[in-house]
Chain A
Amino acid sequence: MEFYTNALSHVLTFGPLTAMIGATLLGVFIGALPGLNPVMAIALLLPLTYSMDPLVALAMVAGIYNGSMYGGAIPAILLRIPGTPASIATTFDGFPMADRGEAAKALKIACWSSAIGGIASAIALMTMGPMLARVTLFFGPAEYFWIAIFGMASVAVMVGSDPVKGMMAAVLGLLIGTMGIDNLSGQARFTFGQTWLLGGLDLIVVLVGLYALPPVLQLAEKCDLKGLSAAQLKLADAPFEEGEIRGLIPTWLRASGIGIGVGILPGAGGNIAAFLSYNAAKNASDDPSSFGKGNPQGVAAAECGNNADNAASMIPALALGIPGNVVAALVLSALTIHGLQPGPQLFHQNPTLVGGFMMEMLITSVLIFALGGAVATRVFAQFQRLPGVLLVPTILILMCVGVYVINGRPVDLWVMLIAGFAGYFLEKVNFPLAPVILGMILGPMAEQSVRRALLISRGDPTDLVTRPISAVLAVVTVLVIIWPLVKMMRRRRRAN
């Protein structure tokens, strides 16, 4: 306890506090603009912080990271354009809510859920960090394979009415995911002799094209010259009705647990956490068919899940020195620059700094309550008042800038454009888009893990199911696939 009270007294000073507020706001903006992502922002800022007070530098990292995870929800709800890959699941129910005039409520739920997920995650980091870190070591390639398959099982809930089209979309994603240099053989696959394809297609480039262009084209189709008036926006504060919060609590608890669980595993990220939380909320619901049609539970699950991943992803980084994602790697490099050595000794080496960073992850999550709602309604939602003829080019320019700065190569703009037209076409013929992205994320993870596992077992496939954890994960995966079927059959029997 003294550990944290001491750290808190250092965090609650002018420098770190200002940095946290400023960075959280900045993070919300970065998350809300498609293409811009927290990794880039933190990487750009970090060298400038080398000479700063480390607690100020880390406050900025915490603010940008937490703020951007929530920020992604704003365009996801208002325009059906996910600001970050982690907010795809937010579009499923967030946009239908906005469509029927409940944008303010959807934004409020996203804001509360993000803050709660972030707080739960920060508390997990502060209380169980080193212990949870040791647990992650039991996860080898065989276990990662099952986690990827488990994630893919959630495709089932995203396919909507036509499972065949959903499967086809997922396979398309898997195929795209195989492009580039194969990490295990060094061979280039599907690169057609193009050097720029050696690294594969960038997830964010494809995401921006696939997800942002179709809604933009639809806006253009409407040929709207006037935009909405302030009165039409309906952004008056939407207070929670009685019992509404109580109804969301189980979803928040479940999504926080899932987000933390996914977060502590290096390599799995907020996007997987959001999909799994959404899936779990739908499976647990009495009325799964209402998901995808504007169920507030869906927004709550997705947003809580992706923020709950954040602080938890710092656990293996801080406690073991194993960064699970690029943001964690940047935090590690910030710590080493200030003379700290991540790993088992870190918590004793400089408790003020480590404890302070954890407090900052917590405080910036709380700040989302205060800042998130206002930024969303006062700033971003006002964009909708722009007439389509202005809004469409504005979004297009932002998309291009965001995509170009990722790798600094013009060819990515073409990839975005092609992905965009593909997305537009797929939507017209009622193909769901989420399975494409999910395939791109999980395909390489599943493939590489299973091949590594087989290399280690010298080609013996029984290792995939006989290691204790892999066996449990395999059984759970099968159950997740079967559970909706069992529920459906039971309902049908009852109806008869």
Chain B
Amino acid sequence: MTLKATFIGLTAATALAAPVLAEYPERTIELTIPAGAGGGTDTSARKLAILLEEKLGTSIAILNVGGGGGSVGASQFMQAKPDGYSLFATWNSPLTTVPQVQDVAYSLASFTPIASTSETAYTLCVKTDFPATTGAEFLDELAANPGKYTYGNDGIGGTMQLAAERIFQAKEINAIAIPFGGAGETLQNFLGGHVDIYGGSISTVLPYVESGEAKCPIVTSAADVPALEGASGLEALGLADKETLLWRAILGPKDMDPAVVEKLANVIEEAVNDPSYVEFLATKGEVPNVVKGEALGARLQSEYDALAEVSKALGL
């Protein structure tokens, strides 16, 4: 019995010591998505998984673990083995925003950053008859009328609301946040005149900017967004350090083999820059953005700190 146990122990040790990279990946990879099937994160991860399957030469099984704004999936995933066969495709909010408002079991240290994939800015839009058109005019109008305007957002303490409040705090603006279930619902209430300002993703509101029903004075990225002519990036308003984006990334559990991380990061970079994926991203108003390994870790940390500051000021 003891002999057998020793033997098993030895075999296991040899298996662990053997170079993982040479054969990696040799079996199915499980990709956890912390959202239900069908949402933005889900569709972009599934599309990317198809490309990764080709490039890695293995199959990828997708597991949707929704709930809690992504925190349920993240908590479940952090317990996975760091062997490279469990990966996590998420957007930034479960890692940097949700922990500000919920007691979660994980922290940034619970994950190994592998690579970010794509990003997009949020925008604030108003009806065409709104008494301000440029970004500077818009912020002045809001600052001059505290408590007068309502803005729809993707949920209280969500990334979109924090993105807007970071700008508002810098300009001492008081606008009333009305949380909705998502950009579609916000758009419906904005078009129907139930809220004054649309706050949400660019692609959702774009058709109405093109049809002349809405105008967007501001985007939450530092740079301007080519698709939204007339919208000021934050840099032009002197608020470059208040940039908040929606972005997506692939991570692993903590303590992954650096060689596996590097291999995955490179394959992800290739897949993201595949013309078919770039085209797919464009339909969602997103652009490829690959930040790998430790640089990604630093990006997560700095965003976490900035959002901690704003949510503290909001009393969330």
Contacts and interface: CB of A to CB of B under 8 A. Distances in A.
B283 A409 contact: no
A456 B194 contact: yes
Given A50-B280, A186-B316, A339-B283, A137 B191 contact: yes
A382 interface: no
Interface stretch (A274-282, A305-313, A323-331, A370-378): A323-331
A343 B157 CA distance: 29
B71 interface: yes
A196 to B, nearest CB: 6
Contact of A198 (B68, B204, B208): B68
A392 B97 CA distance: 46
A252 to B, nearest CB: 30
Interface in A35-85: 39-40, 42-44, 46-47, 50
A342 interface: yes
Interface in B202-251: 203-204, 206-208, 210-211, 213
B298 interface: no
Given A183-B179, A199-B72, A456-B178, A408 B101 contact: no
A186 B157 contact: yes
Contact of B188 (A42, A181, A184, A266): A266
B38 A138 contact: no
Interface in B127-186: 150, 155-157, 176, 178-181, 184-185
A181 B211 CA distance: 37
A198 B37 contact: no
A318 to B, nearest CB: 12
B47 A40 contact: no
B64 interface: yes
B38 A42 contact: yes
Contact of A321 (B42, B76, B204): B204
Nearest to A329: B38
Nearest to A338: B283
A469 to B, nearest CB: 10
B36 interface: yes
Interface size class of A (residues with CB under 8 A): 35 or more
B211 A344 contact: yes
B284 A195 contact: no
A320 interface: yes
A432 to B, nearest CB: 29
A323 B181 CA distance: 12
A366 B76 CA distance: 44
B188 A195 contact: no
Interface in A130-166: 136-141
A422 to B, nearest CB: 21
B275 interface: no
Given A47-B47, A330-B38, A266 B185 contact: yes
B187 interface: yes
Given A47-B46, A195-B105, A140 B39 contact: no
B39 A329 contact: yes
B181 A183 contact: yes
B66 A39 contact: no
Contacts of A478: none
Contact of B211 (A343, A408, A452): A343
B179 A184 contact: yes
A188 interface: yes
A43 B36 CA distance: 9
B63 interface: yes
Contacts of A452: 178-180
B71 A140 contact: no
B284 A140 contact: no
B43 interface: yes
Contacts of A40: 37
Contact of B66 (A183, A330, A333, A407): A407
A326 B38 CA distance: 7
A199 B206 contact: no
Given A141-B189, A322-B185, A333 B176 contact: no
Given A140-B189, A343-B207, A345-B207, A333 B43 contact: yes
A137 B214 CA distance: 15
Contacts of B179: 183-184, 452
Contacts of A196: 67-68, 72
A342 B207 contact: yes
B65 interface: yes
A448 to B, nearest CB: 8
B297 interface: no
Contacts of A43: 37-38, 42
A456 B195 contact: yes
B284 A320 contact: no
Nearest to A140: B194
B293 interface: no
A232 interface: no
B65 A409 contact: yes
A344 to B, nearest CB: 5
Which of B65, B105, B150, B194: most chain A CB closer than 10 A? B194
A323 B184 contact: yes
Nearest to B210: A345
Contacts of B280: 50, 337
Contacts of A199: 66-68, 72
B191 A326 contact: no
Nearest to B213: A344
Contacts of B184: 266, 321-323, 329
B161 to A, nearest CB: 9
B67 A407 contact: yes
Contact of A39 (B37, B71, B192): B37
Nearest to A337: B283
Contact of B68 (A138, A181, A185, A321): A181
Contact of B191 (A320, A333, A409, A458): A320
B43 A407 contact: no
A455 interface: yes
A316 interface: yes
A44 B67 contact: no
A344 B69 contact: no
B266 interface: no
A190 to B, nearest CB: 14
Contact of A183 (B65, B156, B188): B156
Given A47-B50, A50-B280, A344-B211, A198 B188 contact: no
B102 interface: yes
A445 to B, nearest CB: 10
A184 B156 contact: yes
Interface of A: 39-40, 42-44, 46-47, 50, 136-141, 180-181, 183-186, 188, 193, 195-196, 198-200, 266-267, 316, 320-323, 326, 329-330, 333, 336-337, 339, 341-345, 407-409, 452, 455-456, 458
The 5 A-B pairs at the shortest CB distance, nearest first, are namely: A199-B67, A343-B207, A198-B68, A43-B37, A140-B194
22 contacts: A47-B50, A140-B193, A140-B194, A183-B181, A184-B179, A186-B102, A196-B68, A198-B72, A198-B102, A199-B67, A266-B185, A320-B188, A320-B191, A321-B204, A326-B37, A330-B38, A337-B280, A344-B208, A407-B36, A407-B64, A407-B65, A408-B64
Interface of B: 32, 36-39, 42-43, 46-47, 49-50, 63-69, 71-72, 75-76, 101-105, 150, 155-157, 176, 178-181, 184-185, 187-189, 191-195, 203-204, 206-208, 210-211, 213, 280, 283-284, 316
